[in-house]
Amino acid sequence: MIHLLTHEHWVGQLPAPEHTGISPIFKARLKIEGESRRCYVKPLPDMIECGTEVLDNQEVVSEALGYILAKYCGLPVPHTAGIIVLPRDYIPADVLQHADSVTPQGKRQEVFIAWFSEDMRTPNLIQHHMNGASEELQSRLVQRISRYLAKHDQAPAIASFDEWTLNSDRHPGNLLQSRDGQLMLIDHGRLFIGPSWKPSQLANSPPTCTNRLIGFIEKNDPSWSRRLPTQSQRHVAYNGFNVYFQDSGEKAARETLARLMMEEDDIGRVVSFLSSRLQPEHYRTAIGTLL
């Protein structure tokens, strides 16, 4: 379940994170289930510009759906996540400036819908492997991360999850690494390739997407995804996703999208698209084992 919060759950701002990505983000304490929890908060504009068009920004829907699907498919995600509605004066000035810069002209927002996830106090792969490294060493350390992922037993499942959901932005910066070496998924904002997706497009003209995680690994190990052990692990992962989705994931996805006010017909389109990609004829082709 994701939490839907108002600004009344705000406790206070925390020091800025050391590393940020392309999205405006900050840290704060939020009151969730009676407890004050450290969270990363990402305010999102309602609209975005795509070429000459101004379109609805679906990123918060993608975040929520990706989180729920990963959780119900047995992939590690932060313990707590959800949406909070925040007025402008709750958002740090530099983050607000960033958010305003990606908001279409004339669409200034006084209130933002923000995605939040609990701070798990564990580094992402870039921080874990590259913190403090000089520029001269960075290319070698990137290769180290690539080799590390090629051998990691979770990598085939994560790559398969991203292929299933058309996540176009999986990279080492949105994979956390716990002390025991387990990987945790954060940042699902680019499900269905980008933030301007529409349910009708999924149904009528399914998009295609390059798997960024596989591409990152195969810069150092070109045959990784085509080796039999990787293909077998990806088969197992897809079979598991199918079981989880039929058992409880589809219901959770429908409930999540309904809570975000998506119309029933559009919910059906999204669920049907996800279900179709869990069929053997699809994923065997994606994995490269269809005879």
- The pLDDT value recorded for residue 268 is 97
Which secondary structure element, helix H or strand E, spans residue 251, and what is its range?
Answer: helix 250-259
Full-model pTM: 0.95
Contacts of 97 (CB under 8 A, 6+ apart): none
Domains present along the chain, CATH in parentheses: 3-118 (3.30.200), 125-287 (1.10.1070)
Tokens (6 digits) for 139 = 């290319």
Question: CA 159, CA 227: separation in Å to the nearest integer?
Answer: 14
Question: CA 214, CA 160: separation in Å to the nearest integer?
Answer: 9
Which string of b and e fits 13-25 if b means at least 16 CB within 10 Å?
A: eeeeeeebbebbb
- Write out pLDDT tens, residues 159-212: 999 999 999 999 999 999 998 999 999 999 999 999 999 999 997 877 788 999
Q: Cα 89–42–97 angle (5° rounding)? A: 50
Tokens (6 digits) for 282 = 């699809």
Given a contact cutoff of 8 angstroms between Cβ atoms, the answer to whether 140 and 216 are in contact is no
Provide the 3-class DSSP secondary structure of residue 10.
strand
- Name residues of the chain where pLDDT drops below 50: 291
Q: What is the SS3 assignment for 78-131? A: CCCEEEEEEEHHHCCHHHHHHHHHCCCCCCCCCEEEEEEEECCCCCEHHHHHHC
- The pLDDT value recorded for residue 290 is 59
Q: Report the largest interatomic distance among the alpha carbons of the chain, rounded to a whole angstrom.
A: 58
| C-alpha Rg value of the chain to the nearest Å | 19
Tokens (6 digits) for 6 = 């108002």
Question: CA 98, CA 54: separation in Å to the nearest integer?
Answer: 18
- The pLDDT value recorded for residue 291 is 46
- The pLDDT value recorded for residue 43 is 96
